Amino acid sequence: MTKKLYIETVGCQMNMLDSELVVASLRREGYELTANKKEADAILLNTCSVRQHAEDKTYSELGRLKHAKAHNPHKVIGVLGCMAQKDQHLIFKRAPYVDLVVGPGQLHQVPQLIRQIVAGGGPRIEVSLDRTAGSNEQIKRSHESFDPLRDPAMRPTPYQAYVRIMIGCDKFCTYCIVPSVRGPEQSRPAADIVAEARQLAGEGCREITLLGQTVNSYRYRAGDVTTRLADLLAQLHDIDGIARLKFVTNYPKDMTDDLLRAVRDLPKVSPYLHVPAQSGSNRVLERMKRGYTVEEYRDMLQCTRETVPDAAVTSDFIVGFCGETEEDFQATCDLVRESRFKNSFIFKYSERPGTKGAARYPDDIPDDEKKRRNNELLGIQNAISHEDNQSQIGRQFEVLVEGPSKTSQKQGETGTVIQLTGRTHCDRIVVFEGTERQIGQLLPVTIYDASAFTLFGHVVTHEAGPELYELVASSK
C-alpha cells in the first residue's frame, strides 16, 4: 500500500531544494505526496531559523499537530532543517509527540530513520556536529548533503531547477545563524555539478539557479586546477538545452571582475545579481562584521554597472540592528536611493541565540521603531522599483513562461487563453495572456504596463512559433 507524505517548507531556496531531495528519497520508499495532513502517514516540517518569527510559526504548527498525533499515534511527525539543527532535543521537550528531528546535513538519513520509527524504534534525532565539536574535517563531513537525488515533481516548475554548488558559510556575520546550522563553507566538485546540470537538461529543464549562502565564493580545487564560479558558469554554459543560468546569493566582497565578465560575456548567464548590502552605515556594517565598508560596496556596484550595464541588481537590508541610530538608518536610505536596486528584501533585525550579535550587543531598538524604519525603507525602494519598471514599458523581453499566474490559479481559470506568468532574463516578473501549451517556452513579450512588482505584456505572436498556430488550427 502506498504511504502518504505531507511536507511543508519555509525559508530559503536551500530549504526548497532540501525538501525536493527528501521527497525524492521517500518516493523510493513508496511514499506519495499529499496536500492533506489528515490522511498523511508522515508529516515533515522543513524549518528555517533565520528569524524568530519563522521558528514561532513552526512551534505553533507543531502545537496543532498534537491533536493529529493523539488521533493517530502511528502518524510520523518530523522536524527537519535549520531549526532542527539549532534546537535539537529542545524540540522533543516542547513537543514530546515529535518522532523525528534531523538537521540539514543529515537529511540523507530520513528514510531509514522513518523506517526505524515505523518499526517501533521510538523517536530519532540526527544532527551535525557543532562548529566547535571536532576537527574541521570531522565537522565538514558531518554537514555533507545528498544532492544527486532529484525529484522533478518538487521543482518550482519542470523547466526550472536549483542546483546546490556550496553548503555552509564561514563569514560569521554577527546576526546570522547560518554558519552554526549549515556548517563550514564547502564547495561541491565542479564535475558533479556539471553532471547534475546535464541530467536536468535531459529532463527538459531550461533554467538552472546555482545556490550557495555566498555563491560567488565558490572555489573547488582538484589537483592543480581551481574552479571558481566564473569557470563553472563557462562549463555549464556549454550544456545543450539549458537556456538560462542564475546564481544566488552573492557576497559583495567576492564579486570579482572575472565573474562580472562571465555575466557579460556568457549569453545564457542572467544579468541578474542579488548582492545583499544589509546596511548603508559603516558603523553598523562593522558591528555586523560584514567585512566591507559602504564605500567598497558602492565601488562594487559601480564596477558591476560598468561591466554589465543592463544588470538588474537586488539587495537585502536589515533595519534596527543593535545600536542602529537614526543617522545610521538614514545612511541606509541614502544607499537605497542612489543604488537603484531592482528590488530589496527588507527585514527587521531578529536576535538569534547562538550568534555573536546576540552575545555581544543588546537588541535595543524597539519593535515599533524597527517597523517604522522597515516601512520607510520599503517605501523608498518601492518607489524606485515602480519607476524602474515604468521605464521597461514598450520594451520587448524574452520571457521563460513558468505557468498560470497567481490570479489565474485563484480564479481556477481554464480554457484556451489564460493569464500566464514568467520571468525576463534579468528576473523581472511578467504577466500576460497565453495558452497552457506555452508553459516552459521562451517567448518574446512586449510590455504595455507596469507596477512596482510586475510587468504586464503581450506575446509577440508573429514570433510565437508553430505551437500557437497549431493550437489555433486545431481549435477551429
Choices 53-61, 167-175, 189-197, 339-347; region in contact with ligand SF4 by CB under 6 A = 167-175
Give the integer Cα–Cα distance in Å for 431 and 395.
14
In this structure, what C-alpha cell is assigned to residue 51?
528569524
Single residue of 146, 172, 345, 456 touching ligand SF4 by CB under 6 A: 172
Site for ligand SF4 in 194-233 (CB under 6 A): 213-214
Can you give the C-alpha Rg of the chain in angstroms? 23
Pick the closer one to ligand SF4 by CB: 140 or 150. 140
Nearest alpha carbon to residue 193 among 137, 258, 247? 247
User: Any contact of residue 49 with ligand SF4 (CB under 6 A)?
Assistant: no
How many residues line the site for ligand SF4 (CB under 6 A)? 10
- Minimum separation from the CB atom of position 34 to ligand SF4 (A): 33
Candidates 11, 105, 123, 179: give the one binding ligand SF4 (CB under 6 A): 179
Instruction: Tell me which of 45, 48, 161, 176 binds ligand SF4, using CB under 6 A.
Output: 176
Task: Give the binding range for ligand SF4 (CB under 6 A) out of 21-29, 93-101, 148-156, 164-172.
Answer: 164-172
Burial per residue of 262-287, b for 16 or more beta-carbon CB atoms within 10 angstroms, e otherwise: bbbebebbbbbbbbbbbbbbbebbeb
- Report the residue from 162, 247, 251, 329 that binds ligand SF4 according to the rule CB under 6 A: 251
Strands 160-164 and 207-211: parallel
**169 scored as a contact of ligand SF4 (CB under 6 A):** yes
Nearest distance, CB of residue 51 and ligand SF4, angstroms: 12
Q: Are β-strands 418-423 and 429-434 bridged in parallel, bridged antiparallel, or unpaired?
A: antiparallel
Q: Which span sits near ligand SF4 by CB under 6 A: 86-94, 172-180, 346-354, 422-430?
A: 172-180
Rounded Cα gap, residues 3 and 42, in angstroms: 8
In contact, 193 and 187? CB cutoff 8 Å? no
Q: What Cα–Cα distance (Å) separates residue 368 from each residue in 54, 319, 345, 364, 371?
A: 19, 12, 19, 12, 5
319 contacts 362 by C-beta, under 8 angstroms: no
**Is the Cβ of residue 165 or residue 401 nearer to ligand SF4 in the bound state?**
165
Would you tell me how many other CB atoms lie within 10 Å of the CB of residue 252? 22
Residue with smaller CB distance to ligand SF4, 27 or 274: 274
- If the CB atoms of residues 111 and 354 are measured against ligand SF4, the closer one turns out to be 354
Least Cβ distance, residue 460 to ligand SF4 (angstroms)? 40
Q: Which residues bind ligand SF4 (CB under 6 A)?
A: 169, 171-173, 176, 178-179, 213-214, 251
